[in-house]
Amino acid sequence: MNAFIAIAVLMTLLVIAWIAYALLRTQKGNGVSSERLNAEIHRDQLKALENDLARGVISQQDFETTRDELQLRLLDDTQSYEATTTAGRGSFWTPRRTSLAIAVTLPVLALGFYWQLGAPGAINPVAANRFEDPQIRQMVESLEAKLKANPNNPEGWAMLARSYKIMGRLDDAEQTFQKVGDAINTNPDLMVELADLIALKANSEIEGKPLELVNKALQINPKHPMGLMMSGVAAYRRADFKMAVAEWEKLLAILEPGSPDAQQVQGNIDDARAQAGMPGAVANNQAGMLPPVSAEAAANTSPEMVNQMVDRLAARLKDNPGDLPGWARLAHAYKVQGRLQDASQAYAKTGKLLDTDAEVMLQYADVLAMLANNNLSGKPFDLIQKALKLDPKNGMALMMAGQASYKAADYRKAIGYWERVLAVLPPNSPDVAQVQAEIADAKAKIGQP
């Protein structure tokens, strides 16, 4: 939003400067031929149109249609007459006074007209997804009509699919993507866009068809940013934290150092490292770090918006402290932002959930361990054992119990916990190899083959 305002102000100042220059400069000659001016404009527009055709931005059919319109407009506009200066010498509105009045009134009028006729809400990328502008609908309908008349237009179908997605017509968007043709199997951008759409329809579930498309896109372009992000999110959600770290580190390498995106990805990497007990994990206490999120949320939600939502939830809970699930949500939000002390305090307010909800217990244990430099002994281990009493087959609890035992050099107990993890994992789970490697390492410690 700040960028939009800055650009709008800059453009307004440039317009004012241009008008003032035209008014204040010394006039030479009697005027400018409007016919010659229109011809020059026509040539510039035609040249730009030819460049668009050469770059493949528009089709041959659209080029010919627009060229014909330009030529008809030129015939209609080019009537020779001289634009002469007619300002009287004794007029109150001298060039200096006129330019000053324009400099004052133009920004005010522009702001007023935009507020009345524009769409301030469109600055918000989330709000923009909910538009019902008749003009936008008309543009989409026009594109639909052109594609019906000229269906052999992959770029057009892709553009229409994106339009449907933004309008919330997800089924239409998916069907339209299928009309793109062979490009959907060779273009990594289109593959990832389709994967994101299918995941969005499935409540942001990336596993299955979306992940197949992402993997295929990464085979073509191993440095595709959105593909790497989605692959890392999918790995994180299935608790394959090492793979999540690997994917996000590839993404971090191609992002601008120090940028908000790079900071977010670094926060994700730190969180995944901590979950996996990998060296180099850090507890980032800077507010604003985002958790691993769905591709759609990452595209449409800024760190500032997330912080505002968290602050609103915290304010509501002050007025309604008995909302125990609300405290759990707030604690988790604080955790993924790196605000570990705040998360610990919020988890402590979840009351009876710390006796009845295994997930809350494990999240609280993880926060306490991160505050203690990834030390799972003491209260974190007590919470893990408590969760296992409620849910003896909880894979995360078993993994954390194994890690705690391993760090305490009780390798036999660690092996026992991790073997129980293998018993609850599906045979084709990618986590099986990781757990087997942990077991092999623990057995090596005690000299067991």
Instruction: Please tell me the predicted confidence (pLDDT) of residue 285.
Output: 35
Instruction: Please tell me the predicted confidence (pLDDT) of residue 33.
Output: 44
- Burial (Cβ within 10 Å: 0-12, 13-18, ≥19) of residue 234: buried
- Nearest 5°: the CA angle 162, 168, 169 is 75
* The pLDDT of residue 127 is above 60: no
The percentage of the chain sitting over the pLDDT mark of 70, rounded to a whole number, equals 63
Query: Are 231 and 218 spatial neighbours (Cβ–Cβ below 8 Å)?
Result: yes
Instruction: Provide the pLDDT confidence category of residue 383 given band limits of 50, 70 and 90.
Output: very high
Average pLDDT rounded to a whole number, residues 90-105: 61
Count the helix, strand and coil residues of the chain and give each as a percent rounded to the nearest 5: 75, 0, 25
The owner of tokens 């992000």 is 229
Q: Mapping DSSP to helix (H, G, I), strand (E, B) and coil, where does residue 376 land?
A: coil
Instruction: Provide the pLDDT confidence category of residue 416 given band limits of 50, 70 and 90.
Output: very high
Q: One-letter amino acid identity for 16?
A: I
Average pLDDT rounded to a whole number, residues 213-237: 89
Average pLDDT rounded to a whole number, residues 395-414: 89
Q: Show the tokens assigned to 361.
A: 């217990």
φ, ψ of residue 208 to 5 degrees: the values are: 90, -135
Instruction: Please tell me the predicted confidence (pLDDT) of residue 298.
Output: 45
- Lowest-pLDDT range of 60-74, 369-383, 402-416: 60-74
* The pLDDT of residue 330 is above 80: yes
Name the residue among 190, 136, 186, 185 with its Cα closest to residue 158: 190
In angstroms, rounded to a whole number, what is the distance separating the alpha carbons of residues 403 and 240? 15
pTM beyond 0.75 = no
Instruction: Provide the pLDDT confidence category of residue 126 given band limits of 50, 70 and 90.
Output: very low
Q: Show the tokens assigned to 281.
A: 């994990």
Query: Are 145 and 139 spatial neighbours (Cβ–Cβ below 8 Å)?
Result: no
Average pLDDT rounded to a whole number, residues 8-37: 59
Q: Mapping DSSP to helix (H, G, I), strand (E, B) and coil, where does residue 88 land?
A: coil
pLDDT 10s digits, 275-317: 877 765 444 333 334 444 444 444 444 455 556 667 777 888 8
Query: Are 193 and 183 spatial neighbours (Cβ–Cβ below 8 Å)?
Result: no
Q: What is the DSSP string of 287-336?
A: TTPPPP--HHHHHH--HHHHHHHHHHHHHHHHH-TT-HHHHHHHHHHHHH
pLDDT 10s digits, 48-59: 767 776 766 666
More confident residue, 138 or 348: 348
